[in-house]
Structure 1
Amino acid sequence: MSHMKIFNTLKIFLLVAGGVGLFVVSCRRVDVEQPRKLAREFDSEVYLRWNDVFVQIDRYADGYRPAPGPHALGYMGFAAYEAIVPAMPSFNSLARLYPDLKMPRFDESVEYHWPAVVNEVYAYMMRRLFFHMEKDFPEEYAKIDRTYRALYAKYETETTPEVLERSVNRGREVARAVYEWESTDAAAHNAFLTPRPPYNAPKGPGFWEPTVPDFGAALFPHWGQVKTFALREEEQVARPHIPYSEHPLSLFFNQGLEVYLTVKNIKENGPFAFEQRWLGEFWSDDILGLTFSPPTRLIAVSNQVVEQERLNLEEAAELYAKIGMALKDCSVAVWQSKYVYNLERPVSYIRRVISQHYPDAANWLTILNDQVGGFEGVTPAFPAYPSGHAGFGGAGGKILSSLFEFNERYPGTYTFTDRCHMFRSEFIGTPRTLASFKDLAYEDAYSRIPLGVHFRMDLDEGVRMGELAAQRILELPWKKR
Structure 2
Amino acid sequence: MNSLIKKWIPWMMLMAVVAACNRSQDVTPQKQLNEYDAKVVLKWGELFLELDRYAPGYRPPVAARAFAYIGLAAYETVVSGTKEYQSLAPYYAGISIPKAEAGKAYHWPTAVNASYLSMMLKFFPHVSTDQKAKINQLGESLFKEFQAETDAETFARSRALGESVASVMFEYSKTDKNGHEAYLNPHPMDYVPPTGVGKWQPTKPDFTRALLPYWGRTRTFAITVEDKVAKPPIEYSSQITSQFFAQALEVCSFPDNYENRWIGEFWSDDIFEQTFEPAARWIAIANQVMIQEKAHLETAVYTYAKLGMGLSDAGVACWNSKYLYNVERPISYINRSINPKWITLLDNTVRKMKGITPPFPAYPSGHSTFGAVAAEILSNIFGYKYEMTDKSHEFRVEFIGKPRSFHNFNEMAYENAISRILLGVHYRMDCDEGLRMGYNVGRKVNAMKWKPVN
In structure 2, the partner of 1:179 is 170
Shift of 1:108: 1.6
In structure 2, the partner of 1:193 is 184
Structure showing the higher helix proportion among its residues: 2
1:145-190: per-residue Cα shift (whole Å, max 9, x none)?
A: 1111111111011111111111110000000000000011000110
Aligned equivalents of 2:409, 2:18: Cα separation in 1:
62
| Residue 376 of structure 2, aligned match among 398, 404, 407 | 398
| Residue 265 of structure 2, aligned match among 281, 286, 295 | 281
Q: Is the 8 A contact 1:94 1:478 kept in 2?
A: yes
Shift of 1:202: 1.1
In structure 1, the partner of 2:285 is 301
In structure 2, the partner of 1:154 is 145
In structure 2, the partner of 1:218 is 210
Shift of 1:393: 0.3
In structure 2, the partner of 1:469 is 441
In structure 2, the partner of 1:99 is 93
Aligned equivalents of 2:18, 2:287: Cα separation in 1:
53
| Residue 238 of structure 1, aligned match among 207, 210, 230 | 230
379-388 vs 365-374, greater mean Cα deviation: 365-374
> Unaligned 5+ residue runs, structure 1?
1-7, 13-23, 267-272, 355-360, 407-412
1:216-259: per-residue Cα shift (whole Å, max 9, x none)?
A: 00000000000000001111110101111111011110000000
Aligned equivalents of 1:28, 1:339: Cα separation in 2:
71
Normalised by the length of structure 2, the TM-score is 0.94
Q: Is the 8 A contact 1:9 1:26 kept in 2?
A: no
Aligned equivalents of 1:75, 1:148: Cα separation in 2:
18
Amino acid at match of 1:180: E
Amino acid at match of 1:458: D
Shift of 1:101: 2.0
Q: Is the 8 A contact 2:80 2:99 kept in 1?
A: no
Aligned equivalents of 1:26, 1:112: Cα separation in 2:
27
RMSD (CA atoms): 1.6
In structure 1, the partner of 2:249 is 257
**1:108-147 matched pairs, under 5 angstroms:** 108-133=102-127, 137-147=128-138
Shift of 1:100: 2.0
Q: Is the 8 A contact 2:28 2:150 kept in 1?
A: no
Q: Classify 1:89/1:375 alpha carbon distance in 2 versus 1 (closer, same or farther; 3 Å).
A: same
1:335-375: per-residue Cα shift (whole Å, max 9, x none)?
A: 00000000000000000112xxxxxx202110111111221
In structure 2, the partner of 1:357 is none
Shift of 1:35: 5.0
> Unaligned 5+ residue runs, structure 2?
1-9
1:48-103: per-residue Cα shift (whole Å, max 9, x none)?
A: 00000001111111111021100001111111000000001121100121112221
Q: How many residues align?
A: 440
Q: Classify 1:100/1:458 alpha carbon distance in 2 versus 1 (closer, same or farther; 3 Å).
A: same
Amino acid at match of 2:87: S
SS of residue in 1 equivalent to 2:164: helix
Shift of 1:106: 2.8
1:314-350: per-residue Cα shift (whole Å, max 9, x none)?
A: 0111111110000000000000000000000000000
Shift of 1:25: 5.8
Aligned equivalents of 1:79, 1:29: Cα separation in 2:
39
86-95 vs 212-221, greater mean Cα deviation: 86-95
Q: Is the 8 A contact 1:85 1:93 kept in 2?
A: yes
| Residue 163 of structure 1, aligned match among 154, 160, 168 | 154
SS of residue in 2 equivalent to 1:362: coil
Aligned equivalents of 1:29, 1:448: Cα separation in 2:
67
In structure 2, the partner of 1:270 is none
In structure 1, the partner of 2:3 is none
Q: Classify 1:35/1:210 alpha carbon distance in 2 versus 1 (closer, same or farther; 3 Å).
A: same
Shift of 1:34: 7.4
Amino acid at match of 2:327: L
138-147 vs 303-312, greater mean Cα deviation: 138-147
Residue 296 of structure 2 corresponds to residue 312 of structure 1: yes
